[in-house]
Amino acid sequence: MRPDLTPEEIVRLDKEAIYLGNLFTVDSDLNLPLEGKLGSKITWESDKEYLLTSTGKVTRPEFGKGNRKVTLKATITYGQVSDIREFEVTILEMEPDFKIVDVEKAYVKCKPGCAPLLPSVVIVKKDDGTYGISDVNWDDIDPAMYAKEGQFEVEGSVALTDQKAIVNVVVTSKEEEKAEPVDVVALPFKLDRVELRDDIFTANRDRGEEFLLSVDDDRMLYNFRDVAGLDKKGAQPMLGWDAPECKLKGHTTGHYLSALSIAYDSSQDPRFKEKIDYMVSELGKCQHALEVSGKYNYGFLSAYSEEQFDLLEEYTIYPVIWAPYYTLHKILTGLLDCYELGKNEQALEIATKIGTWVYNRLSSLPKKQLDKMWSMYIAGEFGGMNEAMARLYSITGDEKFIQAAKLFDNDKLFIPMEKNIDTLGGMHANQHIPQVVGALRIYDEIKDMKYFKMAKNFWDMVVADHIYNIGGVGEGEMFKPAGQIGSFISEKTAESCATYNMLKLTKSLFRYCPEAGYMDYYERALYNHMLASQDQSGPVGGSTYFMPLSPGGQKAYDEDGNSCCHGTGMESHIKYQESIYFYNDDNLYVNLYIPSKLDWQEKGVEIIQWGDYLRDNTLYFEIKGSGKFNINFRVPYWIEKGFNIKINGKEEKTDTHPGSFATVKREWQDGDRIEINIPFTFRLERTPDVKEIASIMYGPLVMVAKSDNTEYIELDADENTLAEKIKGTDDPLVFELNGLTLVPNFMAWNFPYHAYFKVK
């Protein structure tokens, strides 16, 4: 016992220090500590011993029974003093018991004398009609087979079946005919060129910025200084996923760097710049200390040692290690943001050293080893390392960085995405969405069309078959089979990180394909998930991890747990304006109807958007300056009562149909005014697999009902009668239906609600 602590303080501190890892997706035994660091005794009790014993042994439910929740209770005792802490644990169901009925034939090419690079996985068809991925071991190839031009087949053994895989190898000296690359045709504006003037979005942004300014920088540096052996300057250790004993520590600091950079780029507030410069300078000292210690390879910087990376190369599973490259991605991206957005030159120096460390480490590993590493659940999760390395290449021009980016190619995901076959069911959503964002960034740099096809195909299949009404994806962090939405509505739907990354992907694809469908999805996810994910009680930095969509669900906010979604939340709420407008030489795309002021410097004009899109469905635009250009207004997919445009009071005739852009071509004059009326209507959106389960939509908004009932509410309404049965109130965003109060999801931040209903 420490003489300066009372038994009550010892119990309290040991209680707070208990850390069990990620309890949202448990698939292996837990290590339950029996003693606290300060000497208290810990005993455990489970309310479902058959799933999780008091010793930490996990028995997963059979496939089809669903993930199960277990309450695990710790009793912390020191002398006569004791206290209790409860943990909610989600035990993942077993993988499906399926039979492989067919194996897709694979094709590869190689040059004479060069051994073909065979895929590490093959696409398989299951007996339930869905597709998946299975590991394959190919037979040895006689070098004589590829010594000269021709073709031959190689057979392989496929995991989980006695069927054989076949790959057709074409040996040719001819260069493969490459598809014509797709060019960027529209660009977003820098954040400081778009000023938010919307009360709902600005309130969230202001809370987010105030939180960033309140953060103790030295606390964010605690783990980095600790591993580097530097003075921690009296800072308190971080908690949750960034606690000193956690294996993901450092990731929140990376997000913090990005959030500071975004806030500075948007506001030009010198307080953010001061924080950026201090953080970068101190991280530089940590990197230098690691280097001169002689214990670490050149360029390494993290909040822990290189051991996790060593163990990953030995295929050590989660939770023994926890996604080391994921954490590194957050740090590297944060530094690149500090350089590009925060105008800090040292940040690039540090990032370049990290990139060199990554290249030196991974370039020496065989592809077979990399394939196995990246296919591992959680342990092999690398976030968007491919994106960060491609970005570093773009900045520096150093070829080794684009080579390093391609070393993160993940056969398990990329092969089926290139072939446009949906194998996502059962895959960890946020482990793989950032990889696709990275694939598109690689395309940005080298114009290899396979990366573009992967990204576009992935987006198409996710948005068509895997999203909930709010635009979020995944249940318990996992993709479910295509079209399975109503069957997987729970309190752990729609991880916020996944939507954060889907919005990044959507924004990036829109640059190449400025089609309304991308921004229709963007609007859905922005209003109904991102805007709805913040704790509105004050500047506490809290964001949702999951967005509950089950009956009677209520949002919980991660403030001190430092989860991945706490990290992305720091960024999401301060960059709402990033996709309102896009442009090219002669076109302005108005993607989102959010009051704002645009400074289009290239045209020498300002465009002011005001009005109340959500409450009276009308927006106004005023042109400050003059010039000839086209304004393309997004016509939402959901319109039922027209899309009306007036210019200077006169109705403008345009070709408007849902899911398109209405283009106005004009020589604009200073003071020109545009009025856009977009009437909202009520409609039902039924889930594709359970037709009696539906959500109520009002224009772009998911409307939820205030209720703590944990059973589905049955509505006496259908598509033909819904609108007539909904009654308005004094608040234009609050309605009544069958005695229920309906509000947009972003207003349901502190009470239980229903996002889906049973209908006729």
- Write the pLDDT tens digit of every residue in 669-717: 999 999 999 999 999 999 999 999 999 999 999 999 999 999 999 999 9
Residue 492 sits at φ, ψ, to 5 deg, of: -125, 50
- Averaged pLDDT, 519-541: 95
Res 317 pLDDT > 90: no
Res 485 pLDDT > 70: yes
Q: How confident is the model at residue 117 (pLDDT cuts 50, 70, 90)?
A: very high
Q: What is the pLDDT of residues 132-146, one digit of tens each?
A: 999 999 999 999 999
Res 567 pLDDT > 80: yes
Q: In what order do the strands lie in the sheet with 121-126?
A: 100-103, 121-126, 131-138, 150-158, 164-171, 106-110
Q: How confident is the model at residue 64 (pLDDT cuts 50, 70, 90)?
A: low
Radius of gyration over every alpha carbon of the chain, rounded to an integer in angstroms: 27
Q: How confident is the model at residue 96 (pLDDT cuts 50, 70, 90)?
A: confident
Res 12 pLDDT > 80: yes
Residue 559 sits at φ, ψ, to 5 deg, of: -110, -50
- Centre a 10 Å sphere on the Cβ of residue 44 and count the other Cβ atoms it contains: 18
CB proximity list for 650: less than 8 A, separation 6 or greater: none
Q: How confident is the model at residue 655 (pLDDT cuts 50, 70, 90)?
A: confident
% of the chain exceeding 70 in pLDDT: 99
**pLDDT at residue number 596:** 98
Q: How confident is the model at residue 1 (pLDDT cuts 50, 70, 90)?
A: low
Residues 543, 547, 548, 549, CA torsion sign: positive
- Averaged pLDDT, 209-221: 97
Res 551 pLDDT > 70: yes
Q: What is the pLDDT of residues 153-205, one digit of tens each?
A: 999 999 889 999 999 999 999 988 888 999 999 999 999 999 999 999 999 99
Question: What CA–CA distance (Å, rounded) separates 245 from 81?
Answer: 25
**pLDDT at residue number 68:** 80
Q: How confident is the model at residue 484 (pLDDT cuts 50, 70, 90)?
A: very high
- Averaged pLDDT, 477-503: 96
Res 95 pLDDT > 90: no
**pLDDT at residue number 658:** 96
**pLDDT at residue number 63:** 66
Distance in Å from the first CA to the final CA of the chain: 65
Residue 102 sits at φ, ψ, to 5 deg, of: -160, 155
- Averaged pLDDT, 317-331: 94
% of the chain exceeding 90 in pLDDT: 92
Report angle CA 482, 488, 492 to the nearest 5 degrees.
120
Question: What CA–CA distance (Å, rounded) separates 354 from 306?
Answer: 12
CB proximity list for 57: less than 8 A, separation 6 or greater: 29
Res 615 pLDDT > 60: yes
Res 66 pLDDT > 80: no
Question: What CA–CA distance (Å, rounded) separates 384 from 488?
Answer: 27
618 neighbors 660 (Cβ within 8 angstroms): no
Residue burial 108-119, b: 16+ Cβ < 10 Å; e: rest: eeeeeeeebebb
* Mean pLDDT of the residues in the chain: 95
- Averaged pLDDT, 361-381: 95
Side-chain-facing half-sphere of 364: CA atoms under 13 Å: 6
Res 131 pLDDT > 70: yes
**pLDDT at residue number 98:** 84
428 neighbors 377 (Cβ within 8 angstroms): yes
Q: Which two tokens stand for residue 114?
A: 């060069």
305 neighbors 228 (Cβ within 8 angstroms): no
Strands 605-612 vs 740-744: parallel, antiparallel or unpaired:
unpaired
Question: What CA–CA distance (Å, rounded) separates 659 from 655?
Answer: 12
**pLDDT at residue number 547:** 97
Q: What is the pLDDT of residues 236-286, one digit of tens each?
A: 999 999 999 999 999 999 999 999 999 999 999 999 999 999 999 999 999
Specify which of 11-25, 530-544, 581-595 reaches the highest per-range mean pLDDT: 581-595
- Averaged pLDDT, 420-434: 95
**pLDDT at residue number 150:** 96
**pLDDT at residue number 175:** 87
Residues 311, 316, 320, 325, CA torsion sign: positive
Q: What is the pLDDT of residues 449-478, one digit of tens each?
A: 999 999 999 999 999 999 999 999 999 899
Global pTM reads: 0.91
Question: What CA–CA distance (Å, rounded) separates 573 from 589?
Answer: 22
Question: What CA–CA distance (Å, rounded) separates 167 from 147?
Answer: 17
492 neighbors 455 (Cβ within 8 angstroms): no
